[in-house]
Chain A
Amino acid sequence: MTAPQIEIQLIATVVAVSCALPGCFLILRRMAMMSDAISHSILVGIAVGFFVIRDLASPFLVLFAALTGVVTVSLVELLTRTKRVREDAAIGLIFPALFSIGVILISRYAGDVHLDVDAVLLGELAFAPFNRLTVLGYDIGPKGLALMAGILLLNLLFILIFYKELKLATFDEGLAGALGFSPAVIHYGLMTIVSITAVGAFDAVGSVLVVALMIAPPATAYLITDRLSTMLALSCLIGAICAVSGYWAAHALDASIAGSMASMTGMFFLAAFLAAPNRGLAAIFLRRARQRVEFAQTMLLVHLYNHEGLPGEQRENHVAHLHEHLKWEPPFAGRIVGAAERRGSISRDGDRLLLTDRGREIARQAMVG
């Protein structure tokens, strides 16, 4: 690995982790699409700020663009409050308009400088190591890395300091308000953090992929754990793995690094969607199948119990009769009988089925409960 390669991976990792942290709260608060709105509309702030400051990595530009993000959120809320359009439509109206203004400004007036429309969407991670930060004549690393590290620190501090408040406002807004925490302050604080992160990440991975890094790793973690702290840690870890593996996939294909990172986050989510313990599709289907067998066994025991010791017992408590009485196909009936036998709740006498003491107990409980 060459030095620039290491630096790129380092930046990618820092970006992914910085995005995952506020992303967790976004998806828990059902505001995931806000990240889409913010990451698009900050382009106006970046465009206008760029014409004034002329430096894409300046901290002032970050603040300027972050302000645009907060303005976007306020505009959406303002529009929703007029009651003329619903919130989702308001989001869908505000950010395309702002983004359009940004794109037109850039392609019209900045076409020949270091800011173009492709960079907006793709980011320029591959070029990040060329933009060095020097302090007192010493080269201390890429500017992008320094900026993102600062943002990561800010996010960490924000979440550590306001962890309790964020948690409360996220899971029980009413209680948070009643206890005297202002949900509005938490809300705008979070939106500011999201905006700042989006601006910083924007330069590296472009506007749409900020959304991928903010939503996909937390959503993946959300499928795996029930604890907020675990979810935060896990989504950071997933984000970091996606960043590094995405870089190497892009390297192999000679394709967009940011796009490849986003694809990786998608792969991880897909894997969790299919195979997460308890909440994955596979786990759900296995559980359903197990429950089906479980339920059928109980049905069988109750059936046997009902006819035990009665005149029709010979005929009723017979494997062949299950098809008629319980509408079970013979293979299924065979499976259930086998399972019940293995569990020791019935015993077989040829094709006749007899309850054991244990089976009788289970049947009795099922009928009472």
Chain B
Amino acid sequence: MIGALEAEWIKLRSVRANLILIIIALAIPILLTLLIAALAPFGGATLEREVFGITVITPALVAAYLCGVLGVLGIGQEYRHNTIRVTFAAQPNRSVVLAAKSIVYGTFGLVIGVLSLALSFATASICFAVRDLSFEVVVTPMIGAVLLCVLMTLFGFGLGAVMRQPAGAIPVFLIWPLIIEGIVSLILDSVDESLVRWLPFRSAQELVNFTDASGIPVFSRAVSGLYFAGWTAAVVMIGWWLVERRDA
């Protein structure tokens, strides 16, 4: 297992697309934070916790989605370039390879989440100090954002294992939450607004919720997180089963 972990770590850091993606996943949230913290006209009515949430936590959602793309690439690239055959010839126990990939990419999602938040926090602190704005640090949604980065990475990894080709899996991964769930939630909302909370990515958003007010009935943060984790586990397990079963 140690060998498989080391191999996956070498593979992750030796592909250009991964390195570019990691840089983008860290750079975009900082830029967003910088823009919001420097320019947003936070009025007196804005709660201090909302100032913090909008400036530091919301940009981390971009990092979370890019973590998911990294997860897709973690296995999708192997199928795209047929290196999966070389990988499985070197380690015929496919579960060992998949476990190593899950651990390496999941850890990377964690690191990106922590780094992204830390950098956004530092950037916002400097801007707020200059603008003489006060804000309230809310820790729980920050932890939720880091967890979301990990879960999104693993969700992407599972989807990549199911679909194999990144050209198909990446659009599905982005269209599902951003478009399909948007449309479905409109339909569900017209029937019964409490049904919306059953949409996995809508539920995942509760992990990073920093407002007290809630317009629609949702699960609590913990239940929402567990619910999305359940979806992630299901996608990963289906992908795992398919990889074990299919020809490489």
A, B: real partners: no
Q: Which residues of A contact B (CB under 8 A)?
A: none
What is B's interface to A at a CB cutoff of 8 Å?
none
